[in-house]
Amino acid sequence: MRKPVRKAVFPVAGLGTRFLPATKAIPKEMLPLVDKPLLQHAVEEAREAGIEEFVFVTGGGKRAIEDHFDADNELNSFLETRGNMEALAVVRETEISPGKLFYTRQQQPLGLGHAVWCARAVIGNDPFAIILPDDYVLSNKPCLKQMVEAYQEVGGNIVAVENVPREHTNRYGILKVGYDDGRLVVVEGMVEKPKPEEAPSTLSIIGRYILQPEVMDILSLRERGAGGEIQLTDSMAKLIGRQPFHGLRFEGIRHDCGGKVGFLEATIAHALTRPDMADKVREVLRKYAS
């Protein structure tokens, strides 16, 4: 019987330099899509997938993350006294229970693989998910929940995947694909950021993973890959053939919030899903599109 996926790692140690000066004092992961930080969207996606323990891999200047997911008793008391129960409910949704939230520091920027390795003590011998908050996936069923359902079918390791233009393969981890039923693909290999002419396919990994704990043993070797960093893709590749490994074509639209235009598009897309503001946002868009 395979172990359920109950733990998730959120690598949030980056400096967010593409969003300066906003990120000089505010972690990039705390920039909001309308009124909810990117990282909170990621945490809510994890909760809906059955995640119970949350590991934030942070760096310097990330205190706002800790405060956001902590209980603010003074604020809660103020809202309750004023009878603002709607706002109180919104605030309490941000809280993660004691003993379920863990912080660990990535003291050097050595790559995504290194960030994941920093969570090894909490992960132990359990399968775990990884969510990169920069990838906001708008879907009827949360992306990670789709992946957990696929994991229950096939076990092993699963990455969320989508096709990208061939000229963009040098930005992503790219799969070498075996059997493909249109939803799940058998992964025969993967390459980090290959040149377009050398890419084995155009099927790219996005920021959602379910991995077995053995990947930590490989990451512990601290082998450097593309860009001189410890690449998660390289370590995952070494699990292929030893454990089941699949890519899932998820249902939904991925928005890359790592750049300004992508972040703006994600904000608009999210706003248009909200009944409280969708019509007004459409009016604004028509005004500026004319």
Q: Please give the chain's pLDDT, 290 residues, in tens.
A: 789 999 999 999 988 889 999 999 899 999 999 999 999 999 999 999 999 999 999 988 888 999 999 999 999 999 999 999 999 999 999 999 889 999 999 988 888 999 999 999 999 999 999 999 999 999 999 999 999 999 999 999 999 999 999 999 988 889 999 888 989 999 999 888 889 898 999 999 999 999 999 999 999 988 777 777 788 988 999 999 999 999 999 999 999 999 999 999 999 999 999 999 999 999 999 998 86
pLDDT for the residue 108: 84
Strands 36-37 and 32-33: antiparallel
Distance of CA 96 to the CA centre of its chain: 17
CATH number (domain holding residue 166): 3.90.550.10
Residue positions counted in the chain: 290
* Distance between CA atoms of residues 23 and 15, nearest Å: 7
Does residue 205 sit within a domain? yes
What proportions of the chain, in percent to the nearest 5, are helix, strand and coil?
40, 25, 35
Q: Write out the residue range of the structural domain in which residue 92 sits.
A: 7-289
Does residue 228 sit within a domain? yes
Does residue 54 sit within a domain? yes
Count of domains in the chain?
A: 1
Helix (H, G, I), strand (E, B) or coil at 3: coil
Q: Write down the residue that tokens 């995504």 correspond to.
A: 112
Q: Write down the residue that tokens 């699949």 correspond to.
A: 246
Does residue 2 sit within a domain? no
Global pTM reads: 0.93
Does residue 155 sit within a domain? yes
List of long-range contacts for 235-242, beta carbons under 8 Å, 24+ apart:
235/113, 236/157, 236/159, 236/190, 236/209, 236/211, 237/189, 237/190, 237/191, 239/157, 239/211, 239/212, 239/214, 239/215, 240/187, 240/188, 240/189, 240/190, 242/214
* Distance between CA atoms of residues 39 and 47, nearest Å: 12
Amino acid at 221: L
pLDDT for the residue 127: 97
- And the tokens for 198? 């050398």
pLDDT for the residue 73: 93
Does residue 57 sit within a domain? yes
Does residue 249 sit within a domain? yes
pLDDT for the residue 276: 93
pLDDT for the residue 65: 93
Does residue 1 sit within a domain? no
